[in-house]
Amino acid sequence: MKAELARKASIELSFLESGDLRAGSDFLSPGHKIYVSHLPRQSWAQTRETCAQVTGAGFDPVPHVPVRLLKSAQQLDEVLSALRGAGASELLLIAGDYERPEGPYDRVLQVLQCGKLQDQGFTRVSIAGHPEGHPRVSDDEIRRAQLEKARQGAAAGLDVTLVTQFFFEAKPFIVWARELRMAGIGARIVAGLPGPASIKKLLQLARHCGVGPSIRALTARSGPMFKLLSDRDPDLLLNDLATALLYQPDLFDGIHLYSFGGFLRTAAWLRQQAELQTTPLIGRRDAC
């Protein structure tokens, strides 16, 4: 199960790393899904060009589209058309971490409801999931918004995927995914994992992105040993998620790796995990 999750995992790429795509072919299979991030001050043209490069390298691009950056309905049409022309058939719609919208779109739901995705030929859409909540939005509001977006996307005839914020401990994600399934959400659920990185970098990113209680798993070690462990990969987290699927096979559908600027390192780690022939630690029922 662990190897299967790794083989089917999606991975994130920034436009700054597009030069690594060819080398990534050594680790990723043709048709692999690569999410193209949209960094602050990044242009739509840079996103489009990166998607075209992902397509040219034989992979499936899924560009991030922060809807609060869209200045008008016309620009939405233009962006969708450009991304479609660059080979994208799926988008990750996010509001974006911007205090005020630059145009008419304040929420992802508005774009899901307007019909422009279908007009441009998109049949698949990813939306963000927040198992541990959001630092600037109440838990009730974020849960309600997730359900509303998933249901609206399905009602619009779109194949919906919920891709979560990254986390460091399996249990909060498992509880969240069970709640969605109990609420009748049939969308694909994909667990966002932090790729291999230094503990210092992971802590900085976790605090910036508002990662919740699972950050305790990252800081569980203390004293001299913690200082020596300068790097961390999500191997144990992946093991716990694979174990959870043994008990509830329909709980979630896959994993996504945030590479944090380390695309090739993360791709190599995925390849390593995909080639392992190991059995999850079934005795670790605490993860379930």
Instruction: Give the CATH number for residue 48.
Output: 3.20.20.220
Q: Is residue 210 part of a domain?
A: no
Task: Name beta bridge partners: 188.
Answer: 161
Q: Is residue 211 part of a domain?
A: no
pLDDT at 197: 85
The pLDDT of residue 200 is above 80: no
Which two three-digit tokens encode residue 129?
């999931």
Residue-wise pLDDT for 117-155, tens only, equals: 999 999 999 999 999 876 667 778 888 999 999 999 999
Go through the chain and tell me how many residues it has: 288
pLDDT at 141: 87
Instruction: Please tell me which residue, 285 or 115, carries the higher pLDDT value.
Output: 115
Contact 23, 264 (CB under 8 A): yes
pLDDT at 281: 46
pLDDT at 230: 62
pLDDT at 216: 66
Q: Are strands 231-232 and 197-198 parallel, antiparallel or unpaired?
A: antiparallel
pLDDT at 201: 74
Q: Which of 146, 177, 150, 181 is nearest to 244 (CA)?
A: 177
Contact 152, 116 (CB under 8 A): no
Q: Is residue 286 part of a domain?
A: no
pLDDT at 287: 52
The pLDDT of residue 187 is above 70: yes
pLDDT at 140: 84
pLDDT at 222: 46
Q: Is residue 216 part of a domain?
A: no
Among the ranges given (9-13, 57-61, 214-218), the one the predictor scored with the smallest mean pLDDT: 214-218
The full 3-state SS of the chain, as one line of letters, equals CHHHHHHHCEEEECHHHHHHHHHHCCCCCCCCEEEECCCCCCCHHHHHHHHHHHHHCCCEEEEEEEHHHCCCHHHHHHHHHHHHHCCCCEEEEECCCCCCCCCCCCCHHHHHHHCHHHHCCCCEEEEEECCCCECCECHHHHHHHHHHHHHHHHHCCCEEEEEECCCCCHHHHHHHHHHHHHCCCCCEEEEEEECCEEHHHHHHHHHHHCCCCCHHHHCCCCHHHHHHCCEECCHHHHHHHHHHHHHCCCCCCEEEEECCCCHHHHHHHHHHHHCCCCCCCCCCHHHC
Domain extent at residue 86: 2-195+233-280
pLDDT at 207: 66
pTM for the model: 0.89
Q: Is residue 214 part of a domain?
A: no
Q: Is residue 213 part of a domain?
A: no
Q: How many domains does the chain have?
A: 1
Q: Is residue 217 part of a domain?
A: no
The percentage of the chain sitting over the pLDDT mark of 70, rounded to a whole number, equals: 85
The pLDDT of residue 214 is above 80: no
Q: What is the mean pLDDT of the chain?
A: 88
The pLDDT of residue 57 is above 60: yes
pLDDT at 220: 62
Q: Is residue 103 part of a domain?
A: yes
Among the ranges given (18-32, 58-72, 201-215), the one the predictor scored with the smallest mean pLDDT: 201-215
Residue-wise pLDDT for 3-47, tens only, equals: 999 999 999 999 999 999 999 999 999 999 999 999 989 999 999
The pLDDT of residue 225 is above 50: no
